[in-house]
Chain A
């Protein structure tokens, strides 16, 4: 099981969290201008690296805060991502 570092509660078991996918995916500035392919890319296509990945988690059973971590997709090592905390 992963241990995830909640910025408010500290390290907790993975079962207390919900997964939010890749961090920093911005909503399109003019959604109406997007064609189907571009809209599908925004909705569904995400980076799938072998290595470090910046992703969102929500502390569902705890403080209910969303936060960002960097996780290594091979080793599952997880580190807080200070630079990405601003991404809501």
Chain B
């Protein structure tokens, strides 16, 4: 967000940042992404420069870069709505926040609190699973062989950040 006099915004982690770094592991938070919930279509919404995660048979989460536009809804939601008539398209940027895990140890850290199978053969690049991680509902998408994006509800973000810091101690 830009302003001539003052720009002010706060993510779900407040003034903390998630910044874990080890030889084979990094975890950072990526607040202020533009997140758009799309329901009622079985074909993937297309947005340039965004990840599109399939959360259910006709349910998608578009994960796009932060927007500078000051608007009630993001430009991404507006353009998707005209591209997908009949679908429900809602900006949910404040619903979840994004944590990014990279490195060969990323999967091992999540395995401390998650029974989901995150093997690349089960979860290839571009695929997404939803389930529980350390008692918090999350969706986990793979963006690379060693890179996972984790979407967690804003009210669980501080809990999950604390849990991730603790779980990653042995990998630092």
Q: Is the CB of B132 within 8 A of A61?
A: yes
Chain B residues with Cβ under 8 A from A64's Cβ? Answer: 55-56, 59
Q: Is the CB of B137 within 8 A of A61?
A: yes
Which residues in chain A, 2-41, are within 8 Å of chain B measured between CB atoms? 8-9, 12-13, 15-16
Interface residues on B, range: 10 to 19
Chain A residues with Cβ under 8 A from B129's Cβ? Answer: 9, 62
Residue A65 is within 8 A (CB to CB) of chain B in the complex = yes
Q: Is the CB of B130 within 8 A of A63?
A: yes
Assembled-state Cα–Cα distance A55/B137 (Å): 24
| B42-58 interface code vs A (CB 8 A; 1 in, 0 out) | 00000000000001110
> B138 to nearest A CB, angstroms?
9
Given known contacts A8-B56, A8-B57, A62 and B115 CB-to-CB distance under 8 angstroms:
no
Chain A residues with Cβ under 8 A from B132's Cβ? Answer: 13, 15-16, 61
Residue in A closest to B136 when the chains form the complex, CB atoms: A61
Interface residues on A, range: 10 to 19
Q: Is the CB of A62 within 8 A of B130?
A: yes
Residue B131 is within 8 A (CB to CB) of chain A in the complex = yes
Q: Is the CB of A63 within 8 A of B56?
A: yes
| A-binding residues in B (CB < 8 A) | 55-57, 59, 115, 129-132, 137
| Known contacts A61-B132, A62-B129, A64-B56, then 12 further A-B pairs from the complex at CB < 8 Å, ordered by chain A residue | A8-B56, A9-B129, A9-B130, A12-B131, A13-B131, A13-B132, A16-B131, A16-B132, A62-B56, A63-B57, A64-B55, A65-B57
Residue pairs across A and B with Cβ atoms less than 8 A apart, 20 shown, are: A8-B56, A8-B57, A9-B130, A12-B131, A13-B115, A13-B131, A15-B132, A16-B131, A61-B130, A61-B132, A62-B56, A62-B129, A62-B131, A63-B55, A63-B56, A63-B57, A63-B59, A63-B130, A64-B55, A64-B59
